[in-house]
Amino acid sequence: MSAGWRGKIPNNDNRLPEEREMKKIGMVGIGLMGHGIATNILKHDYSMVLFEHPGNQPLEALIAAGATSTASLADLASQVDAIILCVTGTPEVEDVLFREGGLLAGIKPGTVIIDCSTAIPSSTQRVAVEVEKRQAFFIDAPMTRTPKEAAEGRLNLTVGGRHDIYEKVLPILQTYTENVVYTGDIGSGHQLKLIHNFVSLGFSAVLAEAAACAKKAGISPEVFLEVVGKGGGNSVVLERFRPFLANGDENGFRFYISNALKDMGYYTAMAQEMGAYYENAESVRRTYETAKSVAAPQATVPDLVTVLAGNAAQGTTTDQ
């Protein structure tokens, strides 16, 4: 945890005022996950201000449900009690906060920033210190599961930061989640998210490689799924892959290969910083790197099977 995160700002009571309700929410990042989050928050009688951005999903349904929008980050920050970030990763989080006219240019004392993105924990810790200098608060609350669960209000969160701030915003978090786990100090939510994603994406890479090998061997998808599903490969990841392996349907696992590569890069960077072993993770990272270099820009993780079974993946093992 970064030094000073729990320290008091001079001449100021560094606590959220009890009388201030978290009823007006700002949101930056209305992508596949963010759209579901925003939809569920609006269903629970919160008001919402959305940041207009070309990367958003269409906003019409959210506007019809009562949300407003603005093209100014500073303006958004000046209007709301809490801000949810659902952007791609660390560079985007830092950009929306610190750019000229960014969130910190308009933020009010007592505002809570809830970072649902996947980010490098050491950056999260540094960002929290800078946010507190503005008499505001920052928690990391990265999510797991898919856009399907986001739309259903059934995401999982791991949340790091001050416990009193966590308790203050928990009712907001519960509008779009099924499970919320408080993990401890700032950055710990992002640490656990990266650890979780290494496990999930690592098994995805193993499963895709195995399925590609089975395809080369002429084994039918039905037989492959039956054998693996009744043995040690039975898992949530297998069930997400099942529609694709059975009939080419990617909707069970709509997670881009480019995002998988980003997350694995964050995990290996974190492990390096910590002095942890990461050779298996580096192998998984290289698999996604290979896939990204040959796959379509919007290819999803199940497309690994096609990539690894194709000629483009031949000779990609490395003895570096």
Residues 259-310 pLDDT 10s = 999 999 999 999 999 999 999 999 999 999 999 999 999 999 999 999 999 8
**Average pLDDT in the 173-189 region?**
98
Q: Is residue 208 part of a domain?
A: yes
Beta bridge partners of 27: 50, 84
**Helix (H, G, I), strand (E, B), or coil: what is residue 255?**
coil
198 in the same domain as 181: no
236 in the same domain as 173: no
Q: Is residue 316 part of a domain?
A: no
CATH number at residue 123: 3.40.50.720
**Average pLDDT in the 159-176 region?**
97
The residue whose two tokens read 């698999």 is 287
The residue whose two tokens read 């946010």 is 131
Amino acid of residue 23 = K
159 in the same domain as 228: no
pLDDT score of 225 more than 70: yes
Residue 101 backbone class (left: φ over 0; alpha: ψ -120 to 50; beta: rest): left
Q: Is residue 314 part of a domain?
A: no
Q: What residues contact residue 52 under an 8 Å CB cut-off, 6+ apart? A: 59, 69, 70, 71
Final residue of a structural domain among 127, 155, 185: 185
What pTM was computed for the model? 0.86
